[in-house]
Amino acid sequence: MAERRSAEWYAGTDRNAYIHRAWMRRGLPHDAFDGRPHIAIANSASDLTPCNSHLNEVMESVKAGIYEAGGIPLNLPVVSLGETQVRPTAMLWRNMAAMATEEMLRANPIDGVVLLGGCDKTIPSLLMAAASVDLPAIVVPGGPMKTGTFRGQALGCGTDVWRLSEEVRAGTLSEEEFLTSESSMIASKGHCNTMGTASTMALVAEALGTVIPGLAGTPAVDSRLLESSHETGRLIVDLVERDRRPSGFLTKGSFQNAIVALAAIGGSTNAVVHLLAIAGRLGIDVTLDDFDAIGSGVPLLVNLQPAGRFLMDDFQRAGGLLAVLREVKDLLDPTALTVTGRPLVDHLDDARIWDHEVISAREKPLIPDAGIAVLRGNLAPGGAIIKPAAASPHLLRHRGRAVVFDSIEHMHARIDDPDLDVDESSVLVLRGCGPKGYPGMPEVANMPLPKKLLEKGVRDIVRICDGRMSGTAYGTVVLHVTPEAAAGGTLALVQDGDWIVLDVAQRLLTLDVPRGELNQRRPNRATLDGYATPRRGWERLYVDHVLGADTGADLDFLVGSSGDKVSRESH
């Protein structure tokens, strides 16, 4: 067996080894430094990331499993991003969290790592870090919360926030009733119980092969989460023994399986930028077009909010991800491995659907072709995406006049103006929300509808933005428009009243303005001013180096892997 990586710190009788061992002798057994693998638990628990606040409990189960298998477990708190709390947007800090975790994994005397995540950006950032440092790694998703109820109805957190707040604006729900629902929305520990980004990334991480099959989607309050966490602790020791690293089992086929899963579960559009970023760290050629080519013909089988009616505890009860993947097994790469060392498809034979209202059989899908659609045209030459499963069918082919907002603040100031020139055929355009323009690409693409349309009973119109939207959101929303307005995209040139054509079937997004006229236009002053704010620290580094949404919005100097080697001794 090759010498442990941790032995580079601990082995020997010289002063440096003495220092490394002595400072760690705070309850560790004498043989902790005699060749036992040292396993970090990258723990994103934080009271300010409420969806991850229970991960310290999960960590203890992982620790027990590691110790039982002969390893030395070591808690490593990492940057934690609470989607509901962090301003200006958690996405601004995803790359920072990934970079900080990568550096700490590389800098410390560890042989492998268990990644504890839950809230939207935590699993992506941890996987990006693990891909770049390339030590043996496994993910434990923290799991969704149990379902709360309001007025006798199950509440989908996130999705029902958007729905209820629009009903207040429409005058069909009182503000008092709306606020009363607040105490029922979050019923337990865990992340959103809808098929939002947190649930999506947990399930996609499993389809990718980085989670013990069958674990993702287990509710945070379910004792089986702790049981599987213990099992994960044992397994990571085995991965170190076998030197099974992300680069050794993650392939293009792994990402094919993740994209198929994303379509079949009706997952969040945010998974697109996260999977592209993870693939970029691994040096695997995954492009925006792969999401359309692989996912467009995949049926939607999961009837969960926001694309359906049920919630994550229903999903797990009905059979979970493995039951879904068994239905589309022929679309999966049969050679793509998981952390168990076996192909993903080998874990599907015993999976069953126990509730066909929640998970449909392949021959009776909710939607026959449900994957993310990639749109192109002069308004999005680098691509834009739409989630047809969450859109209104009658709007998937549409021509309407633009109503343009230069920033989020501009949108909020105008959206309820009774004099706003807008009707149900209009196309709302929000720019200045891309990676550079905001900065950080916030979840604002699902703009609230103008109050005067809500009062008329309108609940959806076409919306276009260079930002993102919450995985819990819904509507006919075109997002991730690339190039973004701040990077010189055509979006910066759109004017009120311009005709915009959306044709999802033809994958087209077109600004119907003559090229000669477009060539003469310049972004207006309000648009330019929004991008000229002086910046410092991480924000400046981010704006100077962030890539477009079409490649994952990573920083240009973080793409690829640097491995686990550290050449210098500090003592």
Query: Residue 160 belongs to what H/E stretch?
Result: helix 159-170
CA-to-CA separations, 4 to 10, 18, 54, 109, 311, in angstroms, rounded: 10, 17, 32, 9, 44
The reply to whether domains 37-146+188-347 and 373-533 share a CATH topology is no
- Per-residue confidence band for 169, with pLDDT thresholds at 50, 70 and 90: confident
Q: What percent of the chain is predicted at pLDDT more than 70?
A: 98
Over residues 207-212, the mean pLDDT reads 98
Show Cβ contacts of residue 429 under 8 Å, excluding neighbours closer than 6 positions: 402, 403, 404, 405, 463, 464, 465, 491, 494, 500
Show the CA angle centred on residue 190, arms to residues 91 and 115, nearest 5°. 60
Identity at 483, one-letter amino acid code: P
- The reported pLDDT for the residue numbered 526 is 62
Which CATH superfamily does the domain covering 37-146+188-347 fall into? Response regulator (3.40.50.2300)
Whether residue 92 is predicted with pLDDT greater than 90 in this model: the reply is yes
**DSSP for 271-297?**
HHHHHHHHHHHHT----HHHHHHHHTT
Q: What is the pLDDT of residues 243-266, one digit of tens each?
A: 999 999 999 999 999 999 999 999
Domain boundaries, the chain: 37-146+188-347, 156-185, 373-533
- Cis ω before 439 (30° cut-off from 0): yes
| CATH superfamily placement of domain 373-533 | IlvD/EDD C-terminal domain-like (3.50.30.80)
Instruction: Assess whether pLDDT exceeds 70 at residue 2.
Output: no
**Residue 462: predicted pLDDT:** 98
The whole-number pLDDT of residue 529 equals 61
Whether pLDDT at 479 is above 70 = yes
Torsion sign over Cα 75, 76, 81, 85:
positive
- Can you give the pLDDT at residue 528? 62
pTM value is 0.95
Contact 208, 253 (CB under 8 A): no
Q: Could you report the per-residue pLDDT of 311-351, keeping only the tens digit for each?
A: 999 999 999 999 999 999 999 999 999 999 999 999 999 99
221 DSSP 8-state letter: T
Burial class from Cβ neighbours inside 10 Å (0-12, 13-18, 19+) for residue 396 reads middle
- Chain centroid to Cα 562, Å, comes to 23
For residue 512, with 0-12 CB atoms within 10 Å meaning exposed, 13-18 middle and 19 or more buried, which class applies?
middle
* Spatial separation of the C-alpha atoms in residues 288 and 553, rounded to whole Å: 12
CA 15 vs CA 34, 47, 89, 282, 413: distances in Å? 17, 39, 46, 37, 65
Q: By CB neighbour count within 10 A (0-12 exposed, 13-18 middle, 19+ buried), where does 568 fall?
A: exposed
